[in-house]
Structure 1
């Protein structure tokens, strides 16, 4: 069967510990982070070429979002909030064009707002402000209540499709 067409209709970004901290009226872009596996390139001395072997690790994760106007909450709590990493909820509603039903998307991301980039301001227009999170230590993606993947630096797991890709490594280390 052909894949369904899912169209994004709404997005939001909020602090996960404060459900009233919605940016639904100011957010203009949400960039879920790229998930890329680490690679180790090997060129054998007697080989005919190189191979990039994939490792059971992820490269650093850097989600982004943009808002119209100044987000004073982000600026007041820039970087660390109460001495801890901020935990964010990125949310979206998608429309399944075949069934006409809404599909919910939720991502929880724990990291630090590392970049605040205000655009140029023109009188009569709202200022664009871009935000990037770094030092991400947790990231999950849940679509319509189903965990698609979850990655935790400190938990030392990476689940994809319900399978923990790092379980055998923890077991081998006796952890």
Structure 2
């Protein structure tokens, strides 16, 4: 709907499945979804006056989150302790500023917990830890029950707004859909 403003009001993150004991709602301070950025290659044709650039792919996805306090269970998920990727599911409450309606946003990310960066401890201040999700191989972004972005490394599927961006490539290369 145009003519409105959507504002994120609250988030939660589950590390693992949607098991209620995996909820980080009490400690989550930040959730940063990955940037969607193209990779561009410069091209200056021999007979052209002006150079241009062509999109040749998409940058790797690098989501992060920050938790307040210390989370000993999450340390066991760190990349050196586990070679298995985990599913991270983030939920957000987005408020339609025109109607007041609360809308669910959801991000599903399959990745490894690749970095844990603790804040410096300082007496009288809350110490937190910033976490990086690395080796991302699956990403979904949903808004109000509708898929907005879907990408899977293994099936080479890339959908934006429900439209398959890789169908021609996958058909020509005989890459089967895993979904």
- Coarse TM-score class (shorter-chain normalised): over 0.9
- Per-residue Cα deviation, 1:59-106 (whole angstroms, up to 9, x for no partner): 100001001011222212211675420110011101111111101010
Which residue of structure 2 aligns with residue 109 of structure 1? 109
Structure-1 separation of matches of 2:80 and 2:14: 15
Taking structure 1 as the reference length, the TM-score comes to 0.92
> Pairwise CA RMSD of aligned residues?
1.6
Where does residue 147 of structure 1 map in the other structure? Answer: 147
Structure 2 residue runs of 5 or longer lacking an equivalent are none
**1:166 corresponds to which residue?**
166
Conservation of the 8 A alpha-carbon contact between 2:78 and 2:113: yes
Flag as ranges the 4+ runs of structure 1 deviating above 3 A: 80-83
Q: d(CA) in 1 for partners of 2:91 and 2:3?
A: 22
Tell me what 1:133 maps to. Answer: 133
Q: Which moved more, 1:141-150 or 1:10-19?
A: 10-19
Instruction: Note the 1:81-120 alignment, pairs <5 A.
Output: 83-120=83-120
Distance in 2, Cα, partners of 1:119 & 1:167: 44
Look up the match of 1:75: 75
When the two structures are aligned, how many residues end up with a matched partner?
174
Please list the CA deviations of residues 13-63 of structure 1 after superposition, one character each: whole Å capped at 9, or x if unmatched: 1124242201111001110000112222212122222211113x3210000
Q: Are residues 148 and 167 of structure 1, via their aligned partners in 2, closer, same or farther at CA, if it must alter by over 3 Å?
A: same
Q: Distance in 2 between matches of 1:68 and 1:15?
A: 15
Contact 2:113–2:133 at 8 Å: present in 1 too? yes
Runs (5+) with no aligned partner, structure 1: none
Q: Give 1:150 shift.
A: 0.2
CA distance in 1 between counterparts of 2:51 and 2:153 reads: 29
Task: Indicate the residue corresponding to 2:37 in structure 1.
Answer: 36
**Secondary structure of 1:147 counterpart:** strand
Alpha-carbon distance in structure 1 between the residues aligned to 2:2 and 2:166: 32
What SS does the corresponding residue of 1:35 show, helix, strand or coil?
coil
TM-score of the aligned structures, taking structure 2 as reference length:
0.90
**Counterparts of 2:134 and 2:5, CA distance in 1:** 31
Displacement of 1:140 in angstroms is: 0.5
